[in-house]
Chains A and B, each alone.
Chain A
Amino acid sequence: MTELLTMEGINKSFSGVKVLENVQFSLCQGEVHALMGENGAGKSTLMKILSGIYSKDAGSVRIHGTESLASSPRTAQALGVAIIHQELNMIPDLSIQENMFLGREFKWGRTGFVNWPKMRSEAKSYLQQLGMDLNSDSLVGGLSVGQQQMVEIAKALSMHAKILVLDEPTAALTKREIEKLFQLIATLKTQGVGMIYISHRMEEIFQISDRITVLRDGRYIGTRDTNVTTMDELVQMMVGREIKERFPKVDAKIGEERLRVEGLAQEGKLCDINFSVRAGEILGIAGLMGAGRSELAKALFGVGKYQGKIFVNGKPVKITSPAEGIKAGLALITEDRKGEGLVTDLSVRENLALPNLRSLSRFGFISHRSEREFVDESIKKLNVKVHHSGQGVSSLSGGNQQKVVIGKWLATQPNVLILDEPTRGVDIGAKREIYDLMNQLVQKGVAIIMISSELPEVLGMSDRVLVMKDESLENSHAKTRLRKRL
């Protein structure tokens, strides 16, 4: 088989932090090469270098044997590289053909008028090539996520892509759509397209990939042929041998029940959720993206109307707004730090104080002395690396931003702390600090609900694990059993 792509000795640093170190990767014609690794392992950085979004510090990228000088997504496209992102980049109010040929519409000669018959027939031919029975006039917004993804792939083919990067393509798909996608991947293989497949789902990777490369902490760990490796070997490669050490779980004394949920439901989002969590316990909630985990967290915190019962410390509560959630002793650290966790225009100090202003002010006036004391103490306790507390929060690294988000909630002295993807986009060192903090909290009798897509983290840190699937809790697993399942 001919080699389509060779990446060698790739280095990349962001503001002094090495995120890729001497990484290699290769792809042959008609091959599916899976790229694995935990969040933060460097997968997406590597792919961004391939597609020209980032420039590499050192190393070489050769496409068809010639050095790629791709400096922007556009030039990378010209070299035949296309990425199908996790979040689809389509304009919902435009038709399939308009999306497919956006910015490169067929025209009548040089008139500037769109040649609709040609657009339609071209779109149709690419859709057919992928075995898709869709009307190219229909609006993209009316398609299912799976269909939108197919359109995106058809678009890539229409640009003569030879290297296709699929970033978590199945995350938001139904079972049937996944089967369809896999058929499509098989078709593309016969057409000689090379595909880089990024996914956390082991079963899928074993089903469709030819080779698997594992990255860890920005380093190249190894490449295996899929038919000779095992899941155990891959997990070991991904998380390293020191899984115990990376997750310094301390078993705290399990006490009274802090939170109980009975028959919680939210239309179209959640369905009959039942669980409880006790003081000193870390309850892990695993499951795929889109299974309703974040919705569950938000419903508990008073976002949106819900049916069902919530008990805090044994007493029934009705939580209809975040303010009432706080009053009931809950705190939510959301998954989307920039969108929901921080006010990025404000300083570290102002962000830390935001949910605590009531206790820091008197007659509506903020006591600057108490605020300063509180903020300095939080910064010290959480080891946030800042020059001064008036610094803009957007200038901090991901890990330090996350510590600010956690810090702003700790002072509300919650009984139940809900952490949604607490270590996403956080470097290893800060991760460890966040885990230590969780340990300290449970020892003080706080109950923690930790939602995470990183299975090793869920396994390493939780006392019990629940799995969410299609809006409901599938099963409660003892940790040991789940570990075997993996």
Chain B
Amino acid sequence: MGKVMDKSGILQRMGPLVGLILIVFILSIINSDFMTVGNIFNVLRQVSINALIAYGMTFVILTGGIDLSVGSIIALSSAFAAGMMATGGNSWLAIGVAVLSGTLMGTINGVVIARGKVAPFIATLATMTIFRGLTLVYTEGKPITGLPDSFGMIGRGYLFQIPMPVIWMLVAFGVLYVILKFTSFGRHVFALGGNEEATRLSGINTNRVKILVYSMSGLMASLSGIILTSRLNSAQPTAGASYELDAIAAVVLGGTSLTGGKGWIVGTLIGAMIIGILDNGLNLLNVSSFYQQVVKGGVILLAVLLDRSKGK
């Protein structure tokens, strides 16, 4: 990790994990349906979509930025892929198109932010609207259906009885964990978020690092979009709307600082799980979906407040 692991640091980092265990513990006591293999896989499958976006978002937030356009990138890149497959295109090729277009959209964000020196919030707010609009133009506002069965494997299939999305989530976690912790690029991300000027004066091409993190965020969003499309067996023009908020919430719950420079991707995975399990648990407890939002927001606020008071 970027930060020093002294004793208090470890305790602080374990906060999200303790919270997760606590929620799991409480839910498994008050509802016997929660702690079943079926339900756990169900939860993890739901978590995977948010987790993939949140991984990319972690890189962005570590540099001190934000990416609001991920939801729209999901919609547009999946629409491209679905469009190809619906007209008889090869599934693998379609996946490639989705990944490439998503990465390209992220790169556009990065270039506007790094070279155009536009605040990330504004730049990605604008592209969020643009990409969503382009999705509506491309799909004519209608879902794209008629996808091949082979494509369904990605989101609905199983490997050794583990749902495929869960495997994607874990594989991506492993790869990104290694990138963030063991590569010089990962180190540059932390340095850039900690002090941009000092990083630049250390001979690091900070613009390149910035563009790369937004490209990664776009890439991860498109991967998430592929899974979503596969699970729904269609590309929806409104897919991914407001997904950026759950992703940001997962990153922040995981203990990554919104001002950049401090954080870890393990926390993000935990944060995504907290959100997913909360959703699932509240459903099992038959809490109305209106109240669910109130509870979820409250938990996020509480977690961040607890984190702040520890920091002092």
Contact = CB atoms under 8 A, between A and B. Distances in A.
Interface of A: 301, 303, 321-323, 325-326, 332, 334, 339-347, 350, 353-355, 357-358, 360-361, 364-366, 368, 390-392, 408, 412
Given A366-B182, A392-B4, A350 B197 contact: no
Contact of A357 (B4, B184, B200): B184
A323 B195 contact: no
Interface stretch (B35-43, B95-103, B111-119, B201-209): B201-209
Contacts of A365: 182-184
Given A343-B195, A345-B261, A366-B182, A334 B4 contact: no
A339 B183 contact: no
A404 to B, nearest CB: 12
A322 B203 contact: yes
B201 A364 contact: no
Given A364-B185, A390-B5, A346 B191 contact: yes
B187 A353 contact: yes
Q: B3, B184, B202, B261 — which one has the most chain A CB atoms within 10 A of its CB?
A: B202
A354 B199 contact: yes
A344 B182 CA distance: 20
A297 to B, nearest CB: 11
A346 B202 CA distance: 14
Report the 9 A-B pairs with minimum CB-CB distance, sorted nearest first.
A343-B194, A345-B194, A357-B184, A355-B202, A345-B261, A326-B203, A323-B203, A343-B195, A354-B202
Q: A343, A355, A360, A391 — which one has the most chain B CB atoms within 10 A of its CB?
A: A343
A334 B3 CA distance: 24
A408 B187 CA distance: 15
Nearest to B259: A345
A346 B262 CA distance: 9
B2 interface: yes
B55 interface: no
A339 B202 CA distance: 13
A355 B199 CA distance: 8
Contacts of A321: 203, 205
B254 to A, nearest CB: 17
A408 B205 CA distance: 17
B131 interface: no
B201 A332 contact: yes
A350 B203 contact: no
B205 A343 contact: no
B182 A343 contact: no
B272 to A, nearest CB: 24
Contacts of A412: 203
Contacts of A341: 198, 201
A325 B194 contact: no
Nearest to A346: B194
Contacts of A390: 4-5
Contacts of B4: 347, 390-392
20 contacts: A322-B200, A322-B204, A323-B203, A326-B203, A339-B195, A342-B198, A343-B191, A343-B198, A345-B261, A346-B190, A346-B191, A346-B261, A350-B2, A350-B190, A354-B198, A358-B184, A361-B183, A366-B184, A390-B4, A408-B202
Contact of A345 (B3, B185, B197): B3
Q: B182, B184, B188 — which one has the most chain A CB atoms within 10 A of its CB?
A: B184
A342 B4 CA distance: 16
A354 B204 contact: yes
Contacts of B200: 322
Given A354-B191, A354-B204, A343 B199 contact: yes
Nearest to A363: B183
A364 B183 CA distance: 5
Interface string B1-21: 011110000000000000000
B156 to A, nearest CB: 35
A341 B200 CA distance: 10
A361 B203 CA distance: 15
A467 B201 CA distance: 25
Contact of A344 (B183, B195, B204): B195
A346 B2 contact: yes
Nearest to B178: A365
A301 B198 contact: no
A357 B187 contact: yes
Interface in B158-195: 182-185, 187-188, 190-191, 193-195
Nearest to A333: B201
Nearest to A391: B4
B198 A340 contact: yes
A317 to B, nearest CB: 15
Contacts of A353: 187
Contacts of B2: 345-346, 350
Contacts of B3: 345-347, 392
A305 to B, nearest CB: 15
B178 to A, nearest CB: 8
A217 B261 CA distance: 37
A390 B203 CA distance: 22
Interface string B198-224: 111111110000000000000000000
Contacts of B188: 357
B201 A334 contact: yes
Given A340-B198, A343-B194, A343-B198, A364 B203 contact: no
Given A342-B195, A390-B5, A391-B4, A303 B184 contact: no
Contacts of B195: 339-340, 342-345
A143 to B, nearest CB: 27
A246 B91 CA distance: 75
Contacts of B185: 364
Contacts of A358: 184
Given A346-B3, A346-B191, A366-B182, 10 more contacts: A326-B203, A339-B198, A340-B198, A343-B199, A354-B187, A355-B202, A357-B188, A361-B184, A365-B184, A391-B4
A375 to B, nearest CB: 13
Nearest to B195: A343
A339 B195 CA distance: 7
Contacts of A303: 201
B213 to A, nearest CB: 15
Given A343-B195, A361-B184, A323 B190 contact: no
Nearest to A412: B203
B180 to A, nearest CB: 11
B205 to A, nearest CB: 6
B190 A325 contact: no
